[in-house]
Chains A and B, each alone.
Chain A
Amino acid sequence: DAMVIQNPRYQVTQFGKPVTLSCSQTLNHNVMYWYQQKSSQAPKLLFHYYDKDFNNEADTPDNFQSRRPNTSFCFLDIRSPGLGDAAMYLCATSRLRGGTYNEQFFGPGTRLTVL
């Protein structure tokens, strides 16, 4: 089945220790997104890639970076995690085609704990 896969599902890191979360997709979608979701809140968009074009949200801290080496994979790097970065991180994909239809499909998420 075509899907969005996130690894690991649970990640524990120490305060200030860099961490990388990964996302892969078999949907061949051209757009990939990273969201941060804190408890009882809606997902908050951090950035997205449209093919190789990177689009950062204005309020995304510099501490968060992303890489998309190819269509299938996208990584979220947190350079110096703080306690406030503990959250669920969601990857999503969509296929932007001809200006219509842009449903986003989400992965299961990675729950990040910062000690």
Chain B
Amino acid sequence: GQQLNQSPQSMFIQEGEDVSMNCTSSSIFNTWLWYKQEPGEGPVLLIALYKAGELTSNGRLTAQFGITRKDSFLNISASIPSDVGIYFCAGQWASYDKVIFGPGTSLSVIP
């Protein structure tokens, strides 16, 4: 079945550093979604991407929909302590299909 891989699995970075994480798939998706989940809370949608090559920003976050439609990356610039959490990528083939989640990247920010 469809599977997503995220790398790295976890990151420990210094406050102020930039962060880059990516997500790859064995098959094509037409929508890529990036979520952040904090402990004890539900995932919160950060960025949604709908078109191959699309680059979208949300504050300090930037995400891109890979040109092959099999990957996506998320960058966080100038990290702050509240960026701590697990970042999930998710892909979807068609709007009526279920969303496939990656295993997540755990981010820790050292003040």
A, B from the same assembly: yes
Closest Cβ–Cβ distance, residue B41 to chain A (whole Å): 5
Q: Let me know if A96 and B95 touch, CB within 8 A.
A: yes
Contact of B48 among A48, A50, A92, A103 (CB under 8 A): A103
Contact with A along B17-58 (1 / 0, CB 8 A): 000000000000001010100001111110010100000000
CA distance A64 to B103 in the complex (A): 23
A109 lies within 8 A of B40 (CB): yes
Asked whether, in the complex, the Cβ of A100 is within 8 Å of the Cβ of B41, the reply is: no
- Contact of A101 with B95 in the complex, beta carbons under 8 Å: yes
Number of residues from A at the complex interface, CB < 8 A: 25
Shortest CB distance B77–A (Å): 23
Closest Cβ neighbor of B35 among chain A residues: A106
The reply on A69 being an interface residue by CB < 8 A is no
Distance, CA A100 to CA B96, complexed state (A): 9
Mark A residues whose CB is within 8 Å of B: 4, 6, 40-43, 45, 48, 50, 57, 90, 92, 96, 99-109, 111
Known contacts A4-B42, A109-B40; 7 additional CB pairs below 8 A are A41-B104, A42-B102, A57-B98, A99-B96, A106-B42, A106-B45, A107-B42
